[in-house]
Structure 1
């Protein structure tokens, strides 16, 4: 599965244990994409959406997947239904790129006390998940916050 996104880039050997941003930066450097260029932005959107899907899967109707996501962001109680999981996730502020990295690296994901704190962190670190890619995914939609 790791090669699905990367199979289009001959000679590039992915390292699934480093952060998504670092891995993509390495690919962009390998391909000479400029960070603010259209190709870079387009491929970043494809890559990070693929990464999220790879780690969290398309099964938005499976309670176990929602419970796993809730546990990952620190919600332990009151998640015996998908509706309750979604409701609980409304109060969680987590950077989605960091969430992907937590799965890639095995590290615990950081949560933020407020949407403003999440926004400041996201803008400062430029760890931005493309809004267009996030709106169509059930898991991502539950975590989407107003950044811009």
Structure 2
């Protein structure tokens, strides 16, 4: 279990449930939901912390780690796993379209991550499902930058 969830001993975390579902349950318990701008901001901030913690637990936080990049390449189904960090980045950037929330969920739920046929297909899916992650948080993790797309095209 990640350290993020350990902060809330009163919350009975299910490590095999989708992260968004679990975070929403925690947010309800903690009162981070509602129309109040302060609650919305707290929700967004905590969601960023939660997701960053979960992503780091599964993929690491050292963006110079070849093993981390190779794990990410394998997870998204690349047939030929690159032999360097730069080759991994090149193999992913603009060629693999996966939702980063789904990427964490594939580890949590032990399912394959859904790869989309195009950036546009991923954009539509992400917006439809509401599986959006704060851009600034994503940019703080070197692994995630290879998978980012613009949602407003």
Give the alignment's TM-score, normalised by structure 1.
0.92
Residues 35, 41 of structure 1: 8 Å contact kept: no
Equivalent pairs counted in the alignment come to 147
Counterparts of 2:128 and 2:82 in 1: how far apart (Å)? 32
Counterpart of 1:98 in structure 2 is 102
Answer yes or no: is 1:141 the counterpart of 2:138. Answer: no
**Structure 2 unaligned regions, length at least 5:** none
Partner Cα separation in structure 2 for residue 103 and residue 35 of structure 1: 30
> Counterpart in 2 of 1:107?
111
Q: Where does residue 134 of structure 2 map in the other structure?
A: 130
Instruction: Tell me the CA shift for residue 78 of structure 1.
Output: 5.5
C-alpha separation in 2, matches of 1:86 and 1:111? 17
Match of 1:63 among 66, 78, 98: 66
Shift in Å at residue 7 of structure 1?
Answer: 3.0
Q: Indicate the residue corresponding to 1:13 in structure 2.
A: 12
Answer with 126-135 or 34-43: which moved more.
34-43
| Cα deviation 1:18-58 (Å, max 9, x = unaligned) | 00001101101111221662221111111111111111112
Q: 1:39 to 1:51 in 2, by over 3 A?
A: same
In the alignment, the residues of structure 1 paired with residue 88 and residue 23 of structure 2 have an alpha-carbon distance, to the nearest angstrom, of 31
Counterparts of 1:71-90 in structure 2 under 5 Å?
71-77=74-80, 79-90=82-93
User: Could you tell me how far apart the structure 1 residues matched to 2:76 and 2:43 are?
Assistant: 29
CA contact (8 A) 2:74 2:81 kept: no
